[in-house]
Amino acid sequence: MTLSVDPSLPADEAEPAGQFEVHDAGVLAHARDLIDSLPSLRLVQQEVVNAVRRNEIWRGEECLNLLAPEAPTSPVVRSLLSSEIGTRAAEGHIGAVQRWFVGTRYIDEVEALCVELLKKAFCSNYADHRLIASMLGNLTVYTALTRPGDTIMSIPQPTGGHSANREIGPAGIRGLRIVDVPLDPVTLDVDLDEFARIARAERPKLVALGASMTLFPFPIREISEIIAPWGGRVFFDGAHQLGLIGGGQFQDPLREGAAVMTGSAGKTFSGPQSGIIVWNDPELTAPIADTIFPVIAATHQVNRVAALAAATAEFLAFGREYMAAIVANAQTLAQALHDRGIAVLGADRGFTRTHQVILDVRRFGNGMDVARRLEAANIITNKNLIPSDRPEDWDRPHGLRIGTTEVTRYGMGAEQMATIADLIVDVLEERRPVSAVKQDVTDLRRAHPSLHYCFPAD
């Protein structure tokens, strides 16, 4: 029995009458059939395990995972994610007095190590470890530092912004008025003159600099000086760049004037999927901490905290070298694609200062089709809005986003980046059968089995 979807099942028939699902009705119907047809729940459970295993073999061993928001974690981090401590409840703040429950002495130890390691990694006075996702970090910032009806400014999605800081995300549900940070559509730089003009008229309480398409640093210092006269603050949403920042390979937002920074531990930082928040001003500590608990998190997954602490220790040991290699690989891959005739954003500025390479693939169709064609060859990327797209091009934008975090951690370097560029161009220009490219991709991945930038296993 396989979990693949039966394409002969029309989606409208697959959905029970009167039931609205946002999920693909055919995929859900297949799961229902499986649950109903198997003779025991034990076999149903086994189907879950089997699907996880299939993913582990395909994505984990046979694919070139070039998805920018992903990173492989070390064996220690992975084993901590399934540890006993993850079955324990520890609501509240670290220490015997501010917990709801007793029995937390070792949990306190783990959480305190996590907090202190995070402070060290980001050279910050404060850090919090309880955010299950970076989205919740952004919700924390908006809850702690704004009131409904306040005005903020953030980056629109076609120029790289993320829903986390827009109407449809945490900023929107906080009831904030959102004004665009103007970006030059070609250079993707903040247009500072235009920004100053709009900001002086709108007087935003926060300017959120958060980009999921991110190639170059932002003028944080200039922006924070422009908004300082009315007490405006910069909030840096470093979801993607978090590792690069901690590893000294990108700008350092807290030192350049940002009041608070959030980030995803599972992106370049290469820890467990998780949120991080850091800040320096003691006046922000009570509003942020009081939002995290008891508003955003109660039980906060202590196994995840342990894995985050272990990943942060690894990061402090290897992060600088690892993050530098990620950026070097992105620059090499971008140049190699450009040399092979592919349109790469940022060509006039050295392509990228991050882990990302952004292609304009309109010559080959739209980003969704291109990503699917690459997927057929085991090359995993994603479609992305680019500045020439309109927001309504959401489903079929013309960009393709590539990230070099995972291939770097598996020890690939300049030589492999040239090979990867060839494999991508083989698919885009249909130079070779997809099956032949897929075989080469799988061989390349299998030739790099070991994870780098972590402590040797005992």
Ligand X SMILES: *Cc1c(COP(=O)(O)O)cnc(C)c1O
The residues binding ligand X (CB under 6 A) are 69, 133-135, 162, 164, 210-212, 237, 239-240, 264, 275
Of 237 and 314, CB closest to ligand X:
237
Q: Quick one: 176 or 444, whose CB is closer to ligand X? A: 176
Between helices 414-428 and 367-376, what is the axis angle to 10°? 110
Rank residues 212 and 329 by Cβ distance to ligand X and give the closer one: 212
CB-CB neighbours of 388 under 10 Å: 15
Sign of CA dihedral 105, 111, 113, 116: negative
Nearer to ligand X, 265 or 427 (CB): 265
Looking at beta carbons only, is 74 or 382 nearer to ligand X? 382
In whole angstroms, the minimum distance from the beta carbon of 273 to ligand X comes to 6
With respect to ligand X, which residue has the nearer C-beta, 144 or 437?
Answer: 144
The structure tokens 């990173």 sit at 71
Token pair belonging to 444 = 């390349």
Residue number with CB closer to ligand X (140 or 212): 212
Whichever of 128 and 426 has its CB closer to ligand X, that residue is 128
CB of 399 to ligand X, least distance (A): 15
- Whether the Cβ atoms of residue 234 and residue 223 lie closer than 8 Å to each other: yes
Question: Please, what is the minimum distance in Å from the beta carbon of residue 241 to ligand X?
Answer: 9
Cβ 275 to ligand X shortest distance, Å: 6
Give the dihedral of Cα atoms 371, 264, 237, 211; nearest 10 deg: -10
Least distance in angstroms from the C-beta of 441 to ligand X: 25
DSSP secondary structure, 390-457, as one string: -GGGTTS-SEEEEE-HHHHHTT--HHHHHHHHHHHHHHHTT-S-HHHHHHHHHHHHHT--S--SSPPP
Q: Give me the least distance between CB of 400 and ligand X, in Å please.
A: 16
Q: Which is nearer to ligand X, 162 or 373 (CB)?
A: 162
Provide the minimum distance between the beta carbon of 56 and ligand X in the complex, in angstroms, as a whole number.
21
Closest of 336, 420, 433, 431 to residue 380, by C-alpha: 420
Residue 434 C-beta: closest distance to ligand X, Å: 30
The Cα 29–Cα 429 span in angstroms is: 37
Q: Is the dihedral of CA 235, 237, 242, 248 positive or negative?
A: negative
Report the residue number, 134 or 312, with the smaller CB distance to ligand X: 134
Rounded to whole angstroms, the maximal C-alpha distance in the chain is 69
Nearest CB to ligand X, comparing residues 26 and 210: 210
The span from the CA of 240 to the CA of 345, in Å, is 18
Residue 207 C-beta: closest distance to ligand X, Å: 14
Q: Please give the Cα distance from 434 to 367 (Å, whole number).
A: 18
Per-position DSSP letters for 60-82, written without gaps between them: III-EE--TT--PPPHHHHHHHT
Taking the complex as a whole, the smallest distance from the CB of residue 164 to ligand X amounts, in Å, to 4
Nearest distance in Å: CB 385, ligand X = 13
**β-bridge pairing 343-344 and 356-360:** antiparallel
The per-residue b/e assignment along 110-126, b for 16 or more CB within 10 angstroms, e otherwise, is bbebbbebbeebbebeb
CA distance 253 to 238: 9
Strand order in the sheet with 258-264: 126-128, 275-279, 258-264, 233-237, 206-210, 151-154, 177-180
Q: How many CB atoms lie within 10 A of CB 357?
A: 33
